[in-house]
Structure 1
């Protein structure tokens, strides 16, 4: 009798261990999934559909699904926040801040134009400096205790990245890096955004190409790499993560980036998110 093989991440969802493949993949990569008593670390593993599976569920719950966006970026770009001074732009509930702290950040400045959104556990963490009702365009080094930052991450909404890069680059250490979430719907005119969602993969590629050109010509930053968010925005927008550093600090060879291939992968592999302001309990 032929054994029916199924991808492990899909099987975890089918059996209702987790709510999405993204969560499943995170558990697999972190060594929490055991198949027939054996730890499995490869996301692409195919296993018999009826095999015994156990999950070592983590005590930790991310404060929002936004955490999975930064987790992917840190893993793909091989960036470690351990011992670093960090800024989280558009902190909101604190998904990015939560991840930075979990990966060992020394301190995180949580910046947001809103008020009262940051999760209580982060608000009361002595490693977090909360700066609410603060527009990142006007963020200055004295607001960061006169310290330049090792890492700046951004998940800002209702504003183009173009308006943030130049103010933020002034806050980086010479060898500092920036990870910025690109939300295409805020980078194009309203007539190109149907019901608030950019769906055309060619338009996605154009948006990214133009932004890279802007970064090269108008800022002191250099694009090192790009990937896509594993989950889509609340309305279904595919989002991308840019890995940047100051041009003068580039010591590694900047690889050729196939934007079209990344965009097509994003259209195939991203999941819709039911993200809300509530705690993420899956």
Structure 2
């Protein structure tokens, strides 16, 4: 009997509504095959294997699994911190932070009504309806120790100056979406980038821009969950201070991340 990718098998057996959600469940350690946890979506599995999901999808949106991956890889403190979620949307990042022990999360979005009702009524969540480019320290009662960011239709480089004014020390994890960082002629049909060289150019460009704004790059990892149109995305760990990886090491980490991301999908 031919083996099938685990993520596709979950969808085929009705255990996940889509391949993307199946991937998120697998990466977050929720799926067991014959009693053993499997965390790679591309693992080939026999169709007659016993599949089990320990619990339903753990976050209010699939974005939560993206941040969860970063928190697995980067040694960033979450327990007891005040965090700022820029581009909160339905709240996947916010939900992930709360489950990781954050004391309080400021959820910022131009349309805060998108926030999942479970989070909107959670006293630990403070909502701010505002364009993050114009965010001021006075908008937050308590200064954040951790900032996370997931924005669309704009480069993260346009928002980082405002972030720099808000967080003086601590950590920032930003989702890099190449389709919104690349030049128009680098983006393929339907807004999808599949070319590895384009990913490399965009990542190197963004990381150089980040450094020029006074942040240091601490780490980079490929998102385990693709964007809604199928775009590969990446998570970068920053600190609001000089230092971090050298120019040569930035190129090296980009190459390693692209390679690791491809292996993760296979």
Is 2:136 the partner of 1:140? yes
User: 1:47, CA displacement in angstroms?
Assistant: 6.8
Q: Say if 2:70 is the partner of 1:73.
A: yes
Distance 1:8 1:191, change over 3 A: closer
Q: 2:149 aligns with which of 146, 154, 177?
A: 154
1:80 positional shift = 3.8
Is the contact between residue 76 and residue 171 of structure 2 (CA under 8 Å) also seen in structure 1?
Answer: no
User: How far, CA to CA, are the matches of 2:49 and 2:228 in structure 1?
Assistant: 35
**Mapping of 1:166-205 within 5 angstroms?**
166-174=161-169, 176-195=170-189, 196-205=191-200
Q: What TM-score, normalized by structure 1, do the two folds share?
A: 0.79
**Which residue is 2:216 aligned to?**
222
Name the CA shift for 1:92/1:8 in 2 (closer, same or farther; >3 Å). Answer: closer
Structure 2 unmatched ranges of 5 or more: none
Aligned-pair CA distance for 1:48: 6.0
Aligned partners of 2:206 and 2:193: how far apart in 1?
A: 16
What is the count of residue pairs matched by the alignment?
257
1:246-282 Cα distance to aligned partner (Å, 9 max, x none): 23586xxx976431232244356459xxxxxxxxxxx
Supply the distance in 2 between the matched residues of 1:71 and 1:181 (Cα, whole angstroms).
12
Look up the match of 1:23. 24
Name the CA shift for 1:124/1:12 in 2 (closer, same or farther; >3 Å). same
- Which TM-score applies when normalising by structure 2? 0.83
Pairwise CA RMSD of aligned residues?
3.0
CA–CA distance in 2 between the matches of 1:48 and 1:232? Answer: 25
Distance 2:90 2:53 in 1: 27
Q: Distance in 1 between matches of 2:261 and 2:220?
A: 11
Q: Does the alignment pair 1:123 with 2:117?
A: no
* Structure of greater Rg: 1
CA contact (8 A) 2:172 2:238 kept: yes
Structure 1, unaligned runs of 5 or more = 272-282
1-structure distance, mates of 2:264, 2:7: 13
CA contact (8 A) 1:201 1:264 kept: no
The 1:90–1:76 alpha-carbon spacing in structure 2 relative to 1, beyond 3 Å, is same
Report deviation, 1:184.
1.1
Instruction: Give how far 1:87 is off.
Output: 0.5
Judging changes above 3 Å, is the alpha-carbon distance between structure 1 residues 168 and 120 closer, same or farther for their aligned structure 2 residues?
same
Choose the corresponding residue for 2:37, options 33, 37, 41: 41
